[in-house]
Structure 1
Amino acid sequence: MKDWAPSIIATALFAFLCPGVILQLPGKHRPVDFLNMKTSVVAILAHALLFGLLLLLFLVILKAHLYI
């Protein structure tokens, strides 16, 4: 059986953590901007770090598995 949890979790986190789509952290004018569809280098690095930490949490620490 294949474990689908890594693929599904990584895809969902990527969709939710794209800078500027739902939120941008740090924003251009405020600490958090919502739905502005713009990005910056600092926001890309912050979202990449957050993505990596959440992926590590779900896959390594919590050991999430989904067998289909």
Structure 2
Amino acid sequence: MADWAPVFVGLVLFVLLSPGLLFQIPSKGRIVEFGSFQTSGVSIIIHAVIYFALITILLLAVRVQVFLG
């Protein structure tokens, strides 16, 4: 059986942490801006670091597993 957890966790985190989609850290005028649909280089780097930290914690430390079938 294949473990589908990395696929699902990665997809959900990618969608939720896309800069400007739901929120953006940092924004142009504030610390956090919601639903701006704009992004910057600094925002991309911060969201990538948050993504890496969360996916590492969920897949390696918590060992989330999803088996289909």
TM-score range, shorter chain: over 0.9
Alignment TM-score, normalising by the size of structure 2: 0.97
User: Following TM superposition, where does structure 1 have runs of at least 4 consecutive aligned residues deviating by more than 2 angstroms?
Assistant: none
Q: 1:58 is paired with a residue of what secondary structure?
A: helix
* Percent identical: 35
Q: Which amino acid is 1:46 matched to?
A: I
RMSD of aligned alpha carbons: 0.3
**Unpaired stretches in structure 2, ≥5 consecutive residues:** none
Matched, 1:14 2:14: yes
- 1:39 alignment counterpart: 39
Q: How far does the alpha carbon of each residue in 1:35-62 deviate from its partner, in whole angstroms, 9 at most, with x for none?
A: 0000000000000000000000000000
Q: Which amino acid is 1:67 matched to?
A: F
Shift of 1:20: 0.1
Alignment TM-score, normalising by the size of structure 1: 0.99
**Unpaired stretches in structure 1, ≥5 consecutive residues:** none
Quote the Cα distance in structure 2 between the aligned partners of 1:59 and 1:13.
12
- 1:60 alignment counterpart: 60
Quote the Cα distance in structure 1 between the aligned partners of 2:63 and 2:8.
14
Shift of 1:13: 0.1
Shift of 1:25: 0.4
